[in-house]
């Protein structure tokens, strides 16, 4: 009789254990399935900003057969350009004068016929400044130099003005832009509600690279900054 009661109690405990184990296993499977239900979305943040630094090369050319005369002409041209810049708010520390680039046409392997002058000399005066607005104004006043006999050359890609948005300025923008991109990513996941699901916690998130480009070809001093954040959310019923 006693043995029967012991066997009955053991069987009952075993049955309870199987039920509990099944319930735990079922809950674990549901949780595992829930953890696999995810949605991946992207959020874009974009800003339009003004460049805060400019490198402006002013190049000009002189031609002739007399090196001494060319040297004197370049000294005069450099002085006129530097004077023009300094009189219009550019500091002397922001101006640099490069050594002349001299091409001896007689030393060239292929010389076009009818070349009149032996020497072709290029001079460059470069402005490097954070005073971008002032440089933009001076760019439209290059005719002032022409009146003094200095013709600023154009069309040489080596001497194209460079407008820069510095890393310090970008770092100041990054936190707000990342926050905006993440917020837009969450808004983009709204379709989860339309499928009778709710957004859960973030499973993973990755920030794309910040890109800086000219807004358009005509205004390189205005930049467009973009960053894309990719976020993966858990879904729950």
Q: What is the pLDDT of residues 67-112, one digit of tens each?
A: 999 999 999 999 999 999 999 999 999 999 999 999 988 777 676 6
Q: Is pLDDT above 50 for 32?
A: no
The H helix count followed by the E strand count for the chain is 6, 9
* DSSP type of residue 92: G
C-alpha distances out from residue 117 to 55, 63, 67, 70, 187, Å: 32, 6, 11, 11, 68
C-beta atoms surrounding 91 within 10 Å = 11
Share of the chain above pLDDT 90, in %: 61
Q: Is pLDDT above 60 for 3?
A: no
| Band of residue 194 on the pLDDT scale cut at 50, 70, 90 | low
Instruction: Say what the pLDDT of residue 195 is.
Output: 62
Instruction: Say what the pLDDT of residue 192 is.
Output: 61
Non-local CB neighbours of 224 within 8 Å, separated by 6+ positions:
46, 47, 48, 212, 213, 214, 215
C-alpha distances out from residue 128 to 137, 156, 163, Å: 15, 18, 10
Q: Give pTM, 2 decimals.
A: 0.76
Instruction: Say what the pLDDT of residue 54 is.
Output: 98
Helices (H), 147-222: 167-188, 191-194
Containing H/E element for 52?
Answer: none
C-alpha distances out from residue 37 to 30, 40, 102, 190, Å: 11, 10, 69, 15
What number of CA atoms fall less than 13 Å from residue 210's CA on the CB side? Answer: 19
Ramachandran region, residue 31 (left: φ > 0; alpha: ψ -120 to 50; beta: rest): alpha
Instruction: Say what the pLDDT of residue 218 is.
Output: 92
- Which of 113, 119, 141, 116 has its CA nearest to residue 56? 141
pLDDT tens figures, 127-171: 999 999 999 999 999 999 999 999 999 888 899 999 999 999 999
Question: 229 and 180 in contact (C-beta within 8 Å)?
Answer: no
Residue bearing the bigger pLDDT, 211 or 116: 211
Q: Is pLDDT above 80 for 30?
A: no
Ramachandran region, residue 32 (left: φ > 0; alpha: ψ -120 to 50; beta: rest): alpha
C-beta atoms surrounding 157 within 10 Å = 5
Share of the chain above pLDDT 70, in %: 80
pLDDT tens figures, 98-110: 999 999 887 776 7
Arithmetic mean of pLDDT, 42-58: 96
Between vectors from CA 94 to CA 162 and to CA 221, what angle results, nearest 5°? Answer: 25
pLDDT tens figures, 4-26: 555 545 554 554 444 444 444 44
Instruction: Say what the pLDDT of residue 28 is.
Output: 40
| Band of residue 230 on the pLDDT scale cut at 50, 70, 90 | very high
């Amino acid at each position: 009789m006693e043995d029967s009661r012991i066997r009955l109690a053991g069987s009952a405990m075993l049955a309870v254990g199987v039920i509990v184990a099944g319930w735990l296993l079922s809950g674990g499977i549901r949780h595992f399935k829930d953890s696999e239900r995810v949605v991946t979305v992207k959020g874009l943040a974009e800003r339009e900003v003004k460049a805060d630094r400019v490198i402006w090369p002013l190049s000009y050319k002189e031609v002739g057969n007399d090196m001494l005369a060319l040297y004197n002409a370049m000294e005069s041209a450099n002085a006129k350009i530097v004077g023009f810049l300094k009189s219009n708010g550019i500091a002397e520390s922001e101006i640099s004068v490069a050594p002349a680039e001299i091409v001896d046409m007689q030393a060239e392997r292929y010389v076009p016929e009818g070349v009149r002058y032996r020497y072709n000399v290029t001079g460059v005066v470069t402005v490097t400044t954070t005073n971008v607005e002032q440089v933009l104004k001076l760019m439209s006043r290059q005719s002032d130099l022409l009146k003094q006999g200095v013709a600023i050359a154009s069309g040489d890609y080596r001497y194209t003005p460079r407008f820069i948005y510095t890393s310090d300025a970008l770092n100041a923008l990054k936190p707000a832009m990342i926050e905006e991109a993440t917020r837009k990513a969450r808004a983009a996941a709204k379709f989860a509600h339309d499928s009778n699901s709710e957004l859960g916690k973030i499973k993973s998130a990755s920030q794309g690279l910040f890109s800086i480009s000219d807004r358009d070809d005509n205004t390189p001093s205005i930049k467009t900054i973009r960053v894309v954040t990719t976020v993966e959310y858990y879904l729950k019923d």
